[in-house]
Amino acid sequence: MCQDRDSVSVRVRIAARLSHTGEAYWRDMRIDRCIAPIVAALQAANIDMLASCCGHGKTSGRIDLADGRVLTIEMTENEDDKRRRLEHFRTADPEEAP
């Protein structure tokens, strides 16, 4: 999570319906550093968004997409949770299933 408004510049597409000119355009926006790679990946995939916030350690992070959906970003609580998640995905692998 970013402390003290730690942000980086990411080129984002402003959708036509949100644009003051009525035309879509690209603009550099300050994005919370820890979620900036996710935002950049969404932009590279032409997924329009309205807003983003990492939650700054106080709440879940979120990326509001232009179509009304919200991506929620949860942090793994601790090493035990992380290990359990990894084990879950490992056992979901058909190559390793009994």
Query: Where on the chain is the footprint of Zn ion (CB under 5 A)?
Result: 1-2, 32, 34, 54
Quick check: 52 and 62 in contact, CB under 8 A?
yes
Calpha distance 65→96 (Å, rounded) = 36
Calpha distance 2→68 (Å, rounded) = 25
Q: In whole angstroms, how close is the CB of 6 to Zn ion at the nearest point? A: 7
Q: In whole angstroms, how close is the CB of 52 to Zn ion at the nearest point? A: 10
Q: In whole angstroms, how close is the CB of 28 to Zn ion at the nearest point? A: 18
Q: In whole angstroms, how close is the CB of 7 to Zn ion at the nearest point? A: 9
DSSP string, 9-49: EEEEEE-GGG-TTSS-EEEEEEEEGGGHHHHHHHHHTT--E
Of 15 and 33, the one with the shorter C-beta distance to Zn ion is 33
Quick check: 52 and 35 in contact, CB under 8 A?
yes
